[in-house]
Amino acid sequence: MLGDDGLGVLRPRAWADLVAVEGDPTRALAPLRTPRLVMKAGRIEAGEASACGV
């Protein structure tokens, strides 16, 4: 997947694996226990986009 311009970006037709949490997981891991949104390959797997203001 090296050289794939669809990695590391959030835009249409790009790969999208992300976890949206409330809070800063670099300061405490607790926000990771209750993610607001989980996306895999650009599809919402858990949560709702509206919960994240999207």
User: In the chain, pLDDT over 70 holds for what percent of residues?
Assistant: 67
Contact 16, 41 (CB under 8 A): yes
pTM (2 decimals)?
0.55
Q: Tens digit of pLDDT for each residue in 11-54?
A: 777 766 788 888 888 888 898 888 888 888 777 888 776 656 65
DSSP calls for 12-54: TTS---EEE-SS-TTT-SGGGGS-SEEEETTEEEEE-GGGGT-
Task: Look at residue 10 and give its three-state secondary structure.
Answer: coil
